[in-house]
């Protein structure tokens, strides 16, 4: 992989709460940090996303009395998976993993900060209408191709790549620089969705 000046590395949610010891830990989530640091040095443009929730967020099982984490409930915009409380804005769990070292990252997109809407995608919240502003940024900066990595492969990386593609950007997922939550069927349906959308999965060494 030889990044062009119009390529960007989009690093999704490399936050402590998604790493071992965090409240919504992804297995081996921290293991990709050195690779992402290395990848980041090859890109002129690096963009980070940060999951950033208020207390009582709609995606927290704790906000739905009687519901358990990792189940699905119906909300105004459709089905919503419920999670343990995570990435509370300003908390240490919402901070980037301490070993993440990408000082030249030019933009941090926070998402999921509206109590009533979750946001997996870096582009659109889960109502599929509310934009985060990232599409405008990418367009205005003349960026064409986005290489996605980070957490979690089957949620925020998935929906960022799908929405980015629908918005007209070429999205490529760097598979070995991403780890999955792994709910039943979630990785399989992610791979199918990528295939249907023509999204390439590449390894960092290609
Ligand atoms: C994520 C679940 C809840 C993610 C964020 O970054 O994939 N997953 N919030
Ligand atoms: Zn979240």
Mean pLDDT computed over every residue of the chain: 97
Nearest atom in ligand 1 to 150's CA: 6
Q: Is residue 62 part of a domain?
A: no
Which numbered atom of ligand 1 lies nearest the CA of 53? 9
- The single residue listed with the structure tokens 């064409």 is 144
pLDDT at residue 1, rounded to an integer:
77
Give the pLDDT band of residue 111 (cuts 50, 70, 90): very high
Asked if residue 65 is part of any domain, the answer here is: no
Tokens matching residue 109: 């997109």
Residue-wise pLDDT tens digits, 113-152:
999 999 999 999 999 999 999 999 999 999 999 999 999 9
Q: For residue 10, count CB atoms less than 10 angstroms from its CB and return exposed for 0-12, middle for 13-18, buried for 19 or more.
A: buried
Would you say residue 81 lies in a domain? Answer: no
Instruction: Over range 42-61, report the average pLDDT.
Output: 98
Label residue 14 exposed, middle or buried (CB < 10 Å: 0-12, 13-18, 19+): buried
What's the pLDDT band for 90 if we cut at 50, 70, 90? very high
Rounded distance from Cα 118 to ligand 1 centre (Å): 9
Handedness of CA 58, 61, 67, 70 (dihedral sign): positive
Say how many Å lie between the CA of residue 1 and the centre of ligand 2.
30
What pLDDT shows up at residue 197?
Answer: 98
Which residues neighbour 168 within 8 Å (Cβ) at sequence distance 6 or greater?
none
Out of 60, 181, 186, mutate this one to test ligand 1's pocket (max ligand atoms within 8 Å of CB): namely 181
Kindly indicate the confidence band of residue 88, based on its pLDDT and cuts at 50, 70 and 90: very high
Query: Of all atoms in ligand 1, which is nearest to the CA of residue 112?
Result: 9
Domain coverage including residue 35: 7-54+89-202
pLDDT at position 89, please? 98
User: Does some domain include residue 2?
Assistant: no
pLDDT band at 100 (very low <50, low <70, confident <90, very high): very high
What pLDDT does residue 2 have?
A: 87
CA–CA distance, 46 with 44 (Å, rounded to integer): 7
110 is a domain residue: yes
Spacing, Cα 144 to ligand 1 middle (Å):
25
Please determine, for residue 194, whether its predicted confidence score (pLDDT) is greater than 70. Answer: yes
- Please give the distance, rounded to the nearest whole angstrom, from the Cα atom of residue 118 to the centre of ligand 2: 7
pLDDT of residue 205: 87
pLDDT of residue 206: 65
- At 151, which CATH number? 3.40.50.850
Report every protein residue that has its C-beta within 5 angstroms of ion ligand 2. 51
Ligand 1 shell residues, CB under 6 Å: 13, 18, 51, 59, 83, 120, 151-152, 155-156
Does residue 162 lie in a domain region?
yes
Query: Is residue 84 situated within a structural domain?
Result: no
Cut 0.95: pTM above it: yes
Q: What pLDDT is recorded for position 153?
A: 98
**What's the domain count of the chain?**
1
| Contacts with 51 (C-beta within 8 Å, 6 or more apart), sequence order | 13, 15, 17, 18, 86, 87, 94, 111, 112, 119, 156
How big is the chain, counted in residues? 206
What's the token pair of residue 196?
């249907």
Ligand nearest the Cα atom of residue 54 = 2
**Does residue 35 lie in a domain region?**
yes
């Amino acid at each position: 992989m030889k990044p062009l000046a119009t390529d960007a590395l989009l690093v999704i949610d490399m936050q402590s709460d998604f790493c071992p010891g965090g409240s919504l830990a992804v297995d081996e989530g921290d293991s990709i940090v050195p690779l992402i640091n290395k990848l980041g040095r090859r890109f002129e443009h690096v963009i980070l996303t940060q999951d950033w929730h208020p207390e009582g967020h709609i995606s927290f099982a704790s906000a739905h009395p009687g519901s358990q984490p990792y189940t699905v409930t119906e909300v105004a915009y459709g089905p919503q998976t419920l999670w343990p409380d995570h990435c509370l804005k300003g908390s240490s769990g919402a901070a980037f993993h301490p070993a993440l070292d990408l000082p030249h990252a030019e933009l941090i997109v926070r998402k999921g900060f509206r109590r009533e809407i979750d946001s997996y995608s870096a582009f659109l919240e889960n109502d599929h209408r509310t934009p985060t502003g990232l599409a405008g940024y990418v367009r205005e900066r003349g960026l064409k191709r986005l290489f996605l990595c980070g957490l979690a492969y089957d949620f925020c990386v998935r929906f960022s790549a799908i929405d980015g593609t629908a918005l007209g950007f070429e999205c490529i997922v760097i598979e070995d620089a991403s780890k999955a939550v792994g709910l039943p069927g979630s990785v399989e349906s992610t791979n199918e969705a990528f295939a249907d959308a023509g999204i390439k999965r590449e390894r960092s060494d290609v």
